[in-house]
Amino acid sequence: MRKHIAAGIDIGTHQVKVVISESDPGSDKLLPRILGTGTAESRGLRHGYIVNGRDTAKSVMQAVAQAERASGAKVKKAYLSMGGVSLQSTISLGSVAISRADAEVTQLDLDKATALAERNIPNAQTINRKILHTVPLSYRIDGKLVMGRPLGMKGNKLEAKVLFITCLSQHLEDLIDALSDAGIEVVDVVASPLAASLVTLSKNQKVAGCLLANIGSETVSIVVFENNLPISLEVFPIGSNDITNDIALGLKVPIEDAETIKRGGLTTAQISKKKLDEIVSARLSDIFDLIEAHLKKIDRNGLLPAGIIITGGGAGLAGIEELAKASLKLPSRVA
C-alpha cells in the first residue's frame, strides 16, 4: 500500500520547527517514522503573534529547507501548530429536546447541543476570534450525568458541556499568510499545547488529572487534563526571556552573558550563586503564582493527582521541579 508523508510546522517565538514524517497504512506500527527535521531562529514574532510577516516567512523557509534536505521529500502542505497569547479556552452549555419520537438520543441531538453551546458563548469571548477545537466534556440526560456514550440512551432533554479553544482570527490569518508566502498550504491547525500533550503526557496522567506547562521564551502555556480530556487552556505573556532580563539587571551583565548564565554556562563575569538563585526563583515563583491562580479559578488547585509536567526551553532551569512542587502543592517533574 502507498505510504503517506505529512509535515508539521510549529512557529514559536524562539524557534520555527519542522518535522516530515511517513506512515505506512499496511504496517502494524501506530507511530509514524520521522524522515527529517529542521529548525530556524524565529523572526518577526512577539509573544506568538506576527509583527513582520516577511521575516517569519523567511524563518519558515529556512526550517523547511533543512527538513527537506534531511528527508529527501518536498513540503507543499503542512499541519500548523499555533501558540501565542491569543490562545484561550472557554466552557459553554447547550441543551436541546431529544428529537426522536421514541426519545432515543441520536448524533443529530449531540450535534445540536454542541452547536447551541457554541452560540451560548458570550459575545465578548467570540468577537474577532476563531474556534480551533471543540471538545465535548460531558453530557446529561434529564439532568442526570451520563457515564460514557449517550448515543442510544433515552430521555427528554440532552445537555452538553463543551470546551472551546479559540484564537484571535487576525493572528491565525497572519500565520497562514506567512506560510503561504513560504510556498506552503496549511492543511489544518492545532493549538500547540494540545499538540505537545500528545507526545508528552501518558493516558494515565490525563485520566488521573494533570497540568502540562510549556515555559517558552516569551510565553507560558498550560493545559489541564482530567478524565483524558482537556478541561482548560491558558497562555501567559511571560517566559524564560524575562528570567534572562532579570539576570542582566540583577547582576549588571550584558544580555548575552545573562542568557549564558541562565543556561548554566561559564562567562567572564563574576557572579554570586546565591543572588542568581534568588533572581531565577523570584521570576519562576511569578510564573507558578499565575498557574496557581488559574487552577483556583477552575477549582483544581491541589487536586491533580498526576501533578504538573514541565516542558519547553525554561524546563531546564535548576531547581524548577522543587519550586513547582512547593508553589502548587502538586507532584512535579520535567518532561
As beta bridge partners, residue 36 has 20
Q: Which residues contact 154 (CB under 8 A, 6 or more apart)?
A: 98, 102, 103, 104, 105, 141
Cα atoms in the 13 Å half-sphere on the side-chain side of 62: 14
Cell of 92: 459553554
Cα 48 to Cα 215, 256, 278, distances in angstroms: 13, 22, 28
Give the residue-averaged pLDDT of 312-323: 89
pLDDT above 70: residue 2: no
Give the residue-averaged pLDDT of 209-236: 96
Q: Is the pTM of this model over 0.85?
A: yes
The pLDDT tens digits for 45-87 are 888 888 999 999 999 999 999 999 999 999 999 999 999 899 9
What does the radius of gyration of the chain's CA atoms come to, in whole angstroms? 22
The pLDDT tens digits for 250-302 are 988 889 888 888 887 766 567 778 888 899 999 999 999 999 999 999 999 99
The pLDDT tens digits for 111-150 are 999 999 999 999 989 999 999 999 999 999 999 999 988 9
CB 199 within 8 A of CB 179: no
